[in-house]
Structure 1
Amino acid sequence: MKKEAVILFQLLFVILVLAVMYVVSGISPGEFTELLVSRFFLAFIVVMLLVEILRGLRLKIVTEYLLKDNKLSVSSFVLSRLVGNLAGLFTPISFGTVPAQAVALSSRHPYPIEKFVGSSLITSMVDALVAAAVNIALFFIAEKASVLALASSIVIALLWVSGIYLVFFRNSVINRIMNGVYKRFRAVASRSAMIDRRVRDFQEGVRLTITNPVIFVVSFVLGLLSFILVGLSALLVSGVSEDIGLFEVLLVGSSLYVLSSFPTPGGSGFYELGLVEVLGILGALRARLSFVLFYVSTGLVSLFLLTRDVKKFKESLRKSIVMD
């Protein structure tokens, strides 16, 4: 019951922030309805689907290198991305994104779940590094990014790098996590030797993946391209009519990632205020509502497709966790 109450509170928090923005903006129901049926909203959906395909492809590349298997379907990674977006929207600092992606992938592919956690964490860390690099470049070269955006992106990138180090390179941390998860899905006590072997294999695979220059560069470039497309999609539905260049698109795209990492459900509150600085109150409301509608609708559809056969879903997940 406590878990359900927390989820409900997080959902209500996101709705409350959007309601406040709606009232402050002064937009009428008719104006918002016009947005939903406009060609700009349709273009927004197309661009965002392209974003998720690119990010799903990147997750596939990283995961396949980690697993040494190049026969995984792109569709399963796109679906896992969409489910992760839905979970991240309603959890503080978008914390639910990575575990939701890993669970979705493990229900489709017969590999240890920690492999999918690893690839999801790696791609998230790369996104943090891309955001920091973009904001540093915009601040010092184009003088576009604010001091807050610059400082926040650097702090978030450092936190991700530190977290990756603790999880992937400190045996005690990952051992405790895996033992706890294993015991929840198995009636008997976990076998420490088996857990130790899985941890060593997991950490070695992650180290090889992170330090592979080709994988890192490809992940970085795809991350940068996805930020550009996210910024473009936000501008499409914002109604901003002034000339917008690449720097502004990059600023919006990187800022959205940084703001979603703040300590509220999906970054709500911070996310909207960050958009107001660039798009104005009305443009920020349109963009934020469009993102919420996209993440909720595509996330629910993806969740339905993954869990149509609940028994099979649970069994696949259990095997992925207790795999010997």
Structure 2
Amino acid sequence: MGLQEVWFILIAVLFTGYFVLEGFDFGVGMHMPILGRGRGEVADTRRRVLLNTIGPVWDGNEVWLITAGGALFAAFPEWYATLFSGFYLPLLLILLALIVRVCAIEWRGKIDDPKWRRRCDMGIIFGSWVPAVLWGVAFANIVRGVAINADKKYIGGFFDLLNPYALHGGITTALVFALHGAVFLALKTSGEVRRDAVALARRLAIPTVVVAGSFVLWTQLAYGKGWTWILVIAAAAALLAVVALTSVEREGWAFVFTTVAIAATIVLLFASLFPNVMPSTLDPAWSLTIENASSSAYTLKVMTWAAVVMTPVVLVYQGWTYWVFRQRISTDHIPKSIGLKLGAK
């Protein structure tokens, strides 16, 4: 195995980690209007519970995307250039949504005003739903292939990216992240919020199995390889296990299996893509591969040594963060805001 294959695998690992960790962050934000329902103090307290479940970790989870993007730029610059120029509008929308989400989470409690908090909540919802859908659309198009010419440039339009397979991918990631987030909230909360999260996870489980199961099957039949049937079976079995586990309120194991389902699906996408990194639908000879899109051997060697040194440090630190903040949260742990104490409207 050469360094090009190693870095293709490492980028797949980074995106898998991002979607597993940021996936439940998106799910929490997507559920703000459902699990954060109510009026006045009740709604505000429930929404603060939801945000506190991801409060210590959400920004660390986003680092996986930054690292994946940096690794993509350094290891496969041609892939990075074609991807970010060709998918400019959807990736810009993802970036805009993530910025809105960051600002909304960070600034929500800075002004003690109910209207301000509602606007921030809308920003969190927007910043969670948009990436949850568009990441699926983007990765489905990468696997399917796009109109790349001999100069390694994407010559299609935005609406060419909205094909049936890609839209199916977007619905799949949205549903899977919503289920992942609901199970995470059931695992991290107690009391009424936990009961509602468990009930929501039960309602989401079966439609997620149907939509995600059909997407991975479509991917396998159209783009997969013989050995990737293992990943299809793993993803399907994991989702079926989530259906059973949510019905008996075993949210810990359910979270393990939503993680397995996401990981198996992302690995399936990358495995179906290999050795291409962006197939061309115009001429297979114009496809970007791990060979014609990669950096020099020296660059890959330097990057490999940096990854060997730094990756264990990052993993240990992030694992320690999750361990420290492992306790459940309930509405009893949330103090009243000053404005509500004073009877602000």
- TM above 0.5, yes or no, is no
Q: TM-score band, normalised by the shorter chain?
A: 0.3 to 0.5
Structure possessing the higher relative contact order (Cα contacts under 8 Å, 6 or more residues apart): 1
Normalising by structure 2, what TM-score? Answer: 0.31
Normalising by structure 1, what TM-score? Answer: 0.32
